[in-house]
Amino acid sequence: MGGGRWGARGGSVWTRGRVIAAAAASAAGLLVFHRAVPNSVGRAGSLLESFLPWLGLVVVVLSATALLRRSATALLALLLPVTAWTYLFGGLFLPEPRAGARDLVVVQHNVSDENIDPAGTARALADAGPDLIALEELVPAALPAYQRTLARRYPYREVRGTVGLWSRHPLTDARLLDIRPRGITEPWSRGLRAVVSGPHGDIAVYVAHLPSIRVGPGGLASVHRDESARLLGRALAAEELETVILLGDLNGTVDDRGLAPLTSRMNVAERGFALSFPAALPLARIDQVMARSAAVHHIRTLPGTGSDHLPVAARITLDRSPRPERQT
């Protein structure tokens, strides 16, 4: 055995593993050019983008296979997806920046309309010490428990339909936000806009719960979600206050092009993965915190409650950062 060959397996370390190398190149291509995957059939592009970070697992499997095959060609090819994944997601693992005087801590949680312990859920969220708490799937039967439990530490609140906002600071100019898609005819109220008058000036805070998406034989069903995102994006574009915070269950990841009307206008989290759904085995973060003229420095999950979502907490710095042009 010699000359760079491996006995009965045949081929040299440079000629073996060409299929693995091709798969590695394909994975790199999907990571870098995911926007090129069309959405015309089954929303394939959005489906890929919903789970884009998980392509890292494909790289791990291919790496193990390349090592077993003792293929130098495959191992070199794997540098392509490793580099692409690190460029896209590696920054999320960097240390959280030091807290500053202009920081605001927020909590976002879809509490679930089937939550059997709303008071316990409210206590858990308040114990995180946020300045703002945004909740979705507030049902009339559970609302009094949230109001009683949060009232002492969060004396200011606004609720519209099934979404609500609790605050340490005064809330003014609250109104219903109409983000209902045309195809939904039943009563549907999932948007709220209010102004938080805090120590650093007025901030427009939006709370939204976009329509659910489903994955089936025909692909990703996201038409209603996408239309609702466009309506929300128009409202954000028309907002006169410079500093804006968006909190909500957006039923999409920040990489999903269906949320482009939002992510093109707002800053997203710079640090942290914070996978929030489903709570039992989180696969994606569909509970989002975004900001305009502010930076979302870090996002993290909180311990589970009685919901099928995990709460997320984020630290926002009111630093007057410019609006992003996010193209990934």
Write out pLDDT tens, residues 212-235: 998 888 888 899 999 999 999 999
Range in 15-19, 20-24, 98-102, 193-197 the model is least confident about: 98-102
Cβ atoms within 10 Å of 237's Cβ, excluding its own: 11
Q: What's the mean pLDDT in 61-90? A: 93
**Gap between the Cα atoms of 238 and 229, Å rounded:** 14
For the sheet with 132-136, list strands across it: 156-160, 163-167, 132-136, 103-110, 312-317, 295-301
pTM: 0.90
**pLDDT for residue 58:** 93
SS3 of residue 186 by DSSP: coil
In this predicted structure, the answer to whether residue 297 has a pLDDT above a threshold of 50 is yes
CA distances from 182 to 8, 36, 79 (A): 65, 28, 46
**Gap between the Cα atoms of 2 and 34, Å rounded:** 42
In this predicted structure, the answer to whether residue 321 has a pLDDT above a threshold of 80 is no
Structure confidence by residue, pLDDT tens digits, 6-55? 444 556 777 678 899 999 999 999 999 999 999 988 899 999 999 999 99
Cβ proximity of 163 and 136 under 8 Å? yes
**Gap between the Cα atoms of 234 and 318, Å rounded:** 23
**pLDDT for residue 136:** 98
Name the one residue in this structure whose structure tokens are 């409210």: 122
Structure confidence by residue, pLDDT tens digits, 52-62? 999 999 999 99
In this predicted structure, the answer to whether residue 166 has a pLDDT above a threshold of 90 is yes
**Gap between the Cα atoms of 103 and 97, Å rounded:** 11
**pLDDT for residue 320:** 52
For 284, counting Cβ atoms within 10 Å of its Cβ (0-12 exposed, 13-18 middle, 19+ buried), the class is buried
Structure confidence by residue, pLDDT tens digits, 140-161? 999 999 999 999 999 999 999 9
Residue 92, φ and ψ in degrees, nearest 5: -65, -20
